[in-house]
Structures are given as structure tokens and as C-alpha cells.
Structure 1
Amino acid sequence: MAGVSLKCGDCGALLKSVEEAQEHAELTSHSNFAESTEAVLNLVCTTCSKPCRSKTESDLHTKRTGHTEFVDKTMETVKPISLEAPKAAAMEIDNIDGSSGSGDASEEMVVPGVDKNILEELEGMGFPKARATRALHYSGNASLEAAVNWVVEHENDPDVDEMPKVPANSNSGPPKPALTPEEVKIKAQELRERARKKKEEEEKRMEREREKERIRIGKELLEAKRIEEDNERKRIILLRKAEKEEERRAREKIRQKVEEDKAERRRKLGLPAEDPAAAKPSVPVVEEKKSSLPIRPATKTEKMRECLRSLKQAHKEDDAKVKRAFQTLLTYMGNVAKNPDEEKLRKIRLTNQTFQERVGSLRGGIEFMELCGFEKMEGGEFLFLPRDKIDPAVINSAGTELNSAINNPFFGVL
């Protein structure tokens, strides 16, 4: 396939002709060129018809203008490159490399011809002559608007204020008619208005994006809060169920105690324990259970529980005092369980003010300690638990009952 471009071996740029290679060499001092079968891209913007010669240039155009649609017309404009350029052109390129030679006068590089009237209008708008000339030349002398658009798109180019040069025989044709001063003002106003509207549209778009982000974050926070509230609600429901179950068990224990007391009173009064004719049809199983209750002696654990319940009932107007008494008793039991050989932990002076305030003055406090094995000694001045009478099972049971009394909100209520 014949070559369709010249490729710079120093930077990889593709050039359409020898003249472009010459201009590239003047601007960059590169001199290593070779024929290439890779065509120079021709991406034309569908919005403003600006041609872009590379993907980088089209991306830059999109960034500056917001135009995103391009038509690839590379194959429509591609043609074999002619290497039969005047020797002067080649010699001009060689001169960049330091070799000798002189150029042909016909290939002299000159300032391109542009529309003088539009050039004056651009200068009147404050653009330097070199920048205005370059804008008119590369926008094809189309119009004042096209030249201004070119300046806006290329204002950051390093050579934007350099006067363009083209071969003397490639100057453009006759310039197009110029605009009147009034039309120039109107056109400039339109350009400023268009730029203002474009900026406002961009700000509105960014505000919409920020609002969308705020809405998204708000929804996520609301969802997280809803989940947390659901979990808290479930936890409260489970806690209430546990409390109701504990209350039910407490009622059941009280009911059983009432039945036991009733049976005991019947026995002491010499009354029959049960009326078989009346009880058997209704609840035979309960009847059999009741008949056995009066003869079962209460265990030490049950006595401890009843002692603690009596203590709470006797001082139910002061929950803090009751809880402090339970915690003090639990501390005594814990000390004995952990250090059974320490005598000082098993001996308590009954007249001690702290002991009296916390346990001794409360109904059932000393009775509970006596159920745990403590004995009064030395004329009732001390409570003492002999080492050989320490029963780990009793101490552990006492600790269990005290823990239940402290943590169960329904303990001793019913």
C-alpha cells in the first residue's frame, strides 16, 4: 500500500504533506521523517464542524466545549502522499539539522492571507494580531464566530500567539465579506451570552448531580436508621417477653406457695387433705401432687429464697436499701467461697455500724446468714462460720438466689 502520510520518528506525529513536515520541523527541530501507511485522522465535530487530527485533540475539544459527537472522515480525505516536493522543501528541512542549502523562492514561508475586515474586528475585540491571524487561518476564514471559537478552544496552546506561516503558493483565496461594526457588536454580545448560558447550564448540571448525591446519602441514612429502630424494637419485644415469662413463673411459685400453706393449715386443723369426690373429676394430677406437698420438707435453698422474699416485702418502700442488702450478702458469700481459710472473712461483728445499716437492721438479713451456716458466738456479739461447717453447695446456692433476687425485677413483688 502506498504511503498516505509522513511520520516523525522523534515524536510519532503523522503529517499529511511535505509542507506540513517542513512546518513541523521548524517548530520542533525534528528531522527524522519516514513514509507511513497510517492515515492522519480526520474527526469532525458534528456540532461546530471542527476537524481533529487525533483522539487526544478530540478529547481536548470535548473538555473545552462539551461537544461529544464526532464523525470519522479519515477515509474520505485520505490520499497517497506525494514525495516529489521541490528540493527547496527538503533543503529547508535539512537546514534545521544544520546542513547547508538554500530554499526556492516559490516555497518561501509567508503569513497566510486572511479576511482583513474580520482581522480588524478581532483586534478591535482585544485579540493580538498574531492570535487573530492564526484563528482566522485555522478556522478557514469562515466567520468572526468561528475565529472566536477557535481562540477559546486553543487559548492554552503554547504557540497561540505565534504568527502562522504557510508556503507562499498556498495562500487562501479571496476573503469573505466582512461584518459591519453593528453586526460585530451584536455577534460579540451573542458570543458572551452563549458563554454565560453555557456556564449557567454547567452550574445547574453540577447542582443537580450534587442534589442527587445528597438524596442518595439521605436515603442510605434513613434506611440505616430504620434498620436500627427495627432491631431495637425487636430487642424490646424479646425483653418484654422474657419479663412476662419471669412474671408468670413468679405467679406460679406464689400460687404453689398458697396451695402449700392451705394444705398445711388443713392438716393442722385436722381437716381432710382433699375431698376426693370433688377434686378427682376436675384435676386428678394436681390432687395427687397436693397430697404429697405437706409431707415434703422445705429445702434450705427454698428457705433462703423465702427469707430474701420476706426481706424485700418488709422493705419494699426502699428498693435501694433492699438491693444494697442483697449485694452485701452476695459479697460475704463470695468472700467465703473464694477464701474459705481466711477466718476474718468468716467473722462479723454484729454491732458494726456498716453491717447494721446494710444487713443487721433488716428483717431476714441475719436469718439468711444463719441459713448459710453462720452462728452467733461470744454472747451474740459476733456471727461466725466455722471452717468445718462451710458447705460449698450451700454457699453456691446462696449466691445463686442472691443473683436472682438482684437481677429479677419481679422477685418478691407478687
Structure 2
Amino acid sequence: MAGVSLQCGDCGTLLKSVEEAQEHAELTKHTNFSESTEPVLNLVCTSCGKPCRSKTESNLHTKRTGHAEFVDKTSEATAPISLEAPKVSDDVAMGEAGDSSSSGQQEEMVVPEVDQKLLEELEAMGFPKGRATRALHYSGNASLEAAVNWVVEHENDPDIDEMPLVPASAKKSEASKPSLTPEEIKKKQQELRERARKKKEEEEKIKEREREKERIRVGRELLEAKRIEEENERKRLLLLRKAEKEEERKALEKVRQKMEEDKAERRRKLGLPPEDPSTTVKRSAPVVEEKKSSLPVRPATKAEQMRECLRSLKQNHKDDDAKVKTAFNTLLTFAKNVATNPNEEKFRKIRLTNAAFQDRVGKLKGGIEFLELCGFEKLDGGEFLFLPREKVDIAVLNTAGSELNSAINNPFFGVL
């Protein structure tokens, strides 16, 4: 069977003539063509007369217009293809005669009329003329937006850049719709710009929310890292202090051993027998008692008692530095308020059952004892701590403040 069409070897498109093959090559840069015995389909819509060259094109036409009935006129238009390109110098009359002779075989196909203003706008946007004409034709010349949407939906079609053709008889029925006025074009353009602006604003809002979430997450991670670093630093200081105490103990033990060795060496040089440890203890005990009985014992001062009370409080709660620091600051506030306003009874009376007082001072061993050293006394069966006005001693309160400041500001207080 003779060839009835030309097939593009690059994309598989079937073409009716050499002219179509040349136009296809100019649009797509495809150069591999061969004869084919498969005819180009000619499915004509019974509703509007639009020809469709493939099943895909007819399906798209049905989807857009709802027209589902087509007449297959492929056999009527099928004829052996001529591989000779028409000469430019052919006489017009010869062309007309050829047209009249071939009109009995197939209907003349022409380029559909489209809105020239919309076509110029699409070409200005960078679309090829064939693609722009096809988009306007199949979108019904409705608007620039409809044409662009059609291009987006069909950008993967193999014949997207081919110039559309319609039967000459259907050209009038396929005439383009009246073109839009300049005011309508401006309105459409403004709507497109407004829609793009709103879309951009929505995207910016979404990005801003994501950035805010990221900032919150990073902030939490930084706080957690800081807390872990502070906890590790606290543990490191405790281990360091423990190691220092152990070194000090070992140093004292070495000094004691050295003294024992020197003492033994002196006895050996003097010719004395080695000292019996049990005898040394029994003999030295009365001497120590005699020394103790002969020396006066100095009573602990108020400041020493307060310092020992605070040291005991910290030692009893050494695993919770925050609670110890809160207790010290609360005791300092009590002492400062009484020293500053000794005539105000509200500063000299503390309810022991108060939940805040119990949480900060009352439950900690040594807290109430420190207040008693400042002069406070228990009243009403132990319900209140009260400091009588006549027993307010500013010097004692100042001493308490000094000891508390030292305990708060000295990181090694109560450790050694």
C-alpha cells in the first residue's frame, strides 16, 4: 500500500503533506520523516464541525465542550501522499485548478481566526505563534487567562506548537468571539496581578509561620543546652572540690607519717627503743586531759554560731543549691526588714504555718534556728516566731546580714 501520510520519527506525529512536515520541522526542529501507510484521522464533531486529528484531540474536545459525537471521515480524506514540495513560482491559476481538482477528495483546511490582540499579548509573553493560536482557538478566544491555562494543561502535547487547522466550511462557525475592549483587558490584567499578589502574600505568611516555629524550636534547644551546661558545670565544681579535699587529706596524712618517721628516727639515734603505740596512747591521754583542764575554753561567738548554722543548713541540703540560695535570701530579707524598721511589728512576727515560709525556710533544717539566734522566740505553742521590740539588737542583725551575704556570694561556703 502506498504511503498516505508522513510520520515524524522524533515524536511520532502523522502529517498530511510535505507542507505540514516542513512547518512541523520549523516549529520543532525535527528532521526525521518517513512515509506511513497509517492515514491521519479526520474525526469531525457533529455539533460544531471541528476536525480532530487523533483520539486524544477528540477526547480533549469532548472534555472542554461536552460534544461527544464524531463522524469518522478519514477514508474520505485519505489519498496517496505526494513527496514533491510545491514550487513557489507555480501559476496561481494552476494552484486554483489543483485546488478545484482536489476539492472532491478532501475538504480544504485553513488556520482558524483568533483574537489578534490576545495573540499579540501571548507572543509578547514568549509563546510561539503556533502554540498561542492553538491556545486561543481551543479556549474559545475567551480571555488571556483562559489561553494561558490551556497552555499549562496541554504543554506536554506532542503537537502543542503546531498551527491548528479547521475546515474552510467551519471557519465561519469557528469565528472568534468579539475582542475585549482596552478597559476589559486592563481589568483582566488587574485581576491577574491581584490574584498573584494574594497568592504571594499567602506564601509569605506560611513561610513566616514556619520561620517562627523554627525560632521557637531553636530557642528551646538553646535553653536546654544552657541548662545542661550549667548542670555539668555544677557537677564539675563539686567533683573539683571533692578532689581538693581528698588531696588535702592525703597531704595531711603524709605530714603525719613524716612526723612519725622523724620521731622514730630521733629515738633510734638516742638509743631508745621504738615507741609502743598502745603505751603512747595510754600515757598521752592524761596529759591531754591535764592540758584541757588547764586551758580556759572560749565560748563560741554569735557570728560563729550563725555561720555554723548556715553551714549546717547547706550541708543538709547540698543536693539542691537553688533551695539553699532561696532560704539564705529569705533569711536576709527578714533580718534586713527588722533592722530597717524595728518598730514595725509585722516584720517582727512570722507565722510558722505559712505555706510560703515553710517551703522556703521552715522545712529546711537550720532555718528556724538561725532566726532564733537573731532573737526571735516561739509563741502560742509554736505557732508564731516573734521578736520583742526591746530585744531587737541591731548589731546582731547586722552580723546576721554579713554572714548571710558571705554565704550567698562565696561559692565555696559550706563545702570544705
TM-score computed with the length of structure 2 as normaliser: 0.37
Give me the TM-score of the superposition, normalised by structure 1. Answer: 0.37
